[in-house]
Structure 1
C-alpha cells in the first residue's frame, strides 16, 4: 500500500513540512541524520510523490501541452515524435489533445492546459488566434505555433519554399510527358496552404496547359479524403498523374490507385507533400516534396525551451529549403 507524506512523517517522527522539503531538495537546513531517516523510509516503501502535487510545490509542472487537429495526421505525429526526445531530455513531458480543427475546441484546450499549469503549448492550427493570444502568450503561458504563418508570431515564424519546390515538381511531371495532371488540395475550411495549389495552376499556365476544373479536388487532409478524391479523379480517363498537397492525401491516393487495378508510377504518377517517414517504406515508391524534418524538429524544441526560459524574448523568423529529388525512384 502506498504511503502518504503524512504517514512517512509519522514513521520518521517529523512534520509533514520537513518530509516535503526533503523530498523537494529543500531540506538543507535539516540534519543529515533526519534526511537519511526520511529517505530510508521512502526507499523501503517505494514511495513516489503525486506528480501534480509535487510540481505545484515546485511551481513547475514540466508539462508541455500539444494541440493537433488529428493525432493520426502524419505531419503532426512525425514532428511530435521528433521533439519528444530533446524535450524529455530537458525534463519535460508532452500531453497531446485533438482539436478536430475546431476553433471552439482549440480555445477549450488552451484553457485546459492553463488549468494544468502547462509551461508551454505547441499548437498546430489553421485558426487566427491573435484576439485570444497576445505575443504568443495565453495567460502568461508561451504558445509556439505551427500554422503556416497565419498568426503573428512573437517567437518567430517558420517558412518553407513551398511554392518554388511545388512548381519544380509539376514541371518535372510535364517534362515526363504528362499533360493531364490532377490536383488534390485544401478545401479552404480547415487548412491554409494556398501556395501549393497556386504552384500547380501557375506551372500549368507557364507550360501552355489549360486548367481543367474536373482535375481539381478540394478536400480535408486525411488519408480517407485522399482515397475519395482519387476515386473522383480516376473518372477522368485521360488522367496520368496526381499532385497531392499533403502526404496523408498521397497515402489515400496510393491505395485508391491500387484498388482501381492500376499501377503507381506506371499508370498514374503520384507526387506527395511533406516527406513523412511512412512514404519511405511503401513500394512502388511515391515521390514527394521533402521537408527538412530533422532541422524542423530541432528548431521547434529549441523554440519551446527558449520560450519557457525567456517568455518575453522575441525569436527570429526561420527559412528552410524543401527538397524535390527529380532522380529518385
Structure 2
C-alpha cells in the first residue's frame, strides 16, 4: 500500500494539513506534534512526492545547470561557487552534461522545464541560443556562462578576456620578450576572439609582429598545443615566448618544446590562460591568467536568484569580471632587459 500524508495523519492522530505543515517546517504547529509526525514518517519510510508538490506550487527549489563537458577543469570550480550559493538560499542544483551536443542540450532544457525548476544556468554548446529561447519562450529565468557567451544572450556572467590577454602579453613584454607567438586551438567564439584581440593589441602597441596559430585540423586542448608547436619548431622558428589560449593548450606546447630538447623557460617562456587546478602542480608550475571561477559561480547564482525574486524573466543584467595574472615558473626575464 502506498503511504500518503492522510495515512500519516491517522497514525499521528492529526489532520493531513498538520502533516503537511510539519513536513514543510511551518511554525504554527507545536514542536511536540511536529516531532511525532516526522518520527512516524521515518518509521514508515515516507517521503514527499516532490514532482507532485512542484506541480502544485508551479515551481521547485531546483536550479538546472547545463554544462558542455563535466570533465572540464574550469566548470568544476564554477560548480562549487554555484552550489555553495544555491544551498545558502535553499536551492539545489540539477546538473546536466550536454556533451557539446545541441540536441541533448535541447532535451535537457525540456526536461528541466517539466520538472518546474525555478531557473536555468547554461554554459551553451553553441554561440547561438535560439534553440533554447524557442523552448523556454521567456517563461523561466536563464543566466548564461562559459566560453560561448556573447552579446546576443540576455543575462550572463563572463570574464573580460580582452583584458586578461592584454595582461599576459604586457607581462611578457616587460620581461623583454618581443617575439611572442600565440597558439590557439580555435577562434570561433567571442571568448577566443577577445583573447586574440588582446594579444594583437599589445603586440601592435609595442611595435611587435603578432603571430597567431589557430588549429585548422579540429584538434583541441593539449593535442592542439602539441601538434601546432611541433609544426612551429619544425620550421626552425623558436620564439622567445608563447602565449596560449588556455592552460590545456599550454600543456601541449610544453610537451612539444621539451621533446625538441628545449627548456622552459630558459629557451621559451610560456603563459597559459584559465589557471586550471593542474597549473600549480610543481612539475608544471605554469604562469597563467586566472579566471575567478569560484567567484563567477557565486555571481552567476546571485544574478539568477535576483531574477527569480523579481518575478521578471525580461530582467537583463550582464556581469563581466576581471581575471588576474598568476606568476609561477614558466617565464624568464631576458638578459639585457
**Structure 2 partner of 1:71:** 70
Where do residues 99-178 of structure 1 align in structure 2 (5 Å cutoff)? 99-125=98-124, 126-130=126-130, 132-133=132-133, 138=137, 140-147=139-146, 149-155=149-155, 157-158=156-157, 160-178=159-177
**Structure 1 partner of 2:276:** 276
**Structure 2 partner of 1:187:** 186
Deviation at 1:122, TM superposition (A): 0.8
Structure 2 contact 247–272 (Cα < 8 Å) conserved? yes
The one-character-per-residue Cα deviations of 1:114-143 (angstroms, maximum 9, x if unpaired) are 122221111112422257528x96551211
The one-character-per-residue Cα deviations of 1:275-322 (angstroms, maximum 9, x if unpaired) are 333322343421111233344233112112112222416354334333
Question: Equivalent residue of 2:171, what SS?
Answer: helix
**Structure 1 partner of 2:60:** 61
Deviation at 1:194, TM superposition (A): 0.7
Extract unaligned runs of 5+ from structure 2.
Answer: 330-337
**Structure 1 partner of 2:221:** 222
Deviation at 1:328, TM superposition (A): 4.8
Structure 1 contact 69–99 (Cα < 8 Å) conserved? yes
User: Is 1:204 matched up with 2:203?
Assistant: yes
Quote the Cα distance in structure 1 between the aligned partners of 2:33 and 2:46.
17
Aligned pairs, number:
324
Question: Equivalent residue of 1:296, what SS?
Answer: helix
Question: TM-score with structure 2 length normalisation?
Answer: 0.77
Quote the Cα distance in structure 2 between the aligned partners of 1:82 and 1:204.
35
Question: Equivalent residue of 1:141, what SS?
Answer: coil
Deviation at 1:245, TM superposition (A): 1.3
Quote the Cα distance in structure 2 between the aligned partners of 1:261 and 1:239.
12
Deviation at 1:173, TM superposition (A): 2.6
**Structure 2 partner of 1:237:** 236
Question: Equivalent residue of 1:144, what SS?
Answer: strand
Quote the Cα distance in structure 1 between the aligned partners of 2:260 and 2:202.
28
Structure 2 contact 162–197 (Cα < 8 Å) conserved? yes
Quote the Cα distance in structure 2 between the aligned partners of 1:179 and 1:35.
72
Deviation at 1:152, TM superposition (A): 3.8
Deviation at 1:271, TM superposition (A): 0.9
User: Aligned pair in 2 of structure 1 residues 55, 161: CA closer, same or farther (>3 Å)?
Assistant: closer
Structure 1 contact 182–216 (Cα < 8 Å) conserved? no
Structure 2 contact 250–272 (Cα < 8 Å) conserved? yes
Deviation at 1:24, TM superposition (A): 3.8
Question: TM-score with structure 1 length normalisation?
Answer: 0.78
**Structure 1 partner of 2:286:** 286
The one-character-per-residue Cα deviations of 1:233-257 (angstroms, maximum 9, x if unpaired) are 4434332422111223223434444
Quote the Cα distance in structure 2 between the aligned partners of 1:84 and 1:220.
32
User: Aligned pair in 2 of structure 1 residues 235, 146: CA closer, same or farther (>3 Å)?
Assistant: same
Structure 1 contact 12–37 (Cα < 8 Å) conserved? no
Structure 1 contact 119–142 (Cα < 8 Å) conserved? yes
RMSD: 3.8
The answer to which of 60-69 and 33-42 deviates more is: 33-42
Quote the Cα distance in structure 2 between the aligned partners of 1:195 and 1:212.
15
Deviation at 1:81, TM superposition (A): 1.6
Extract unaligned runs of 5+ from structure 1.
Answer: none
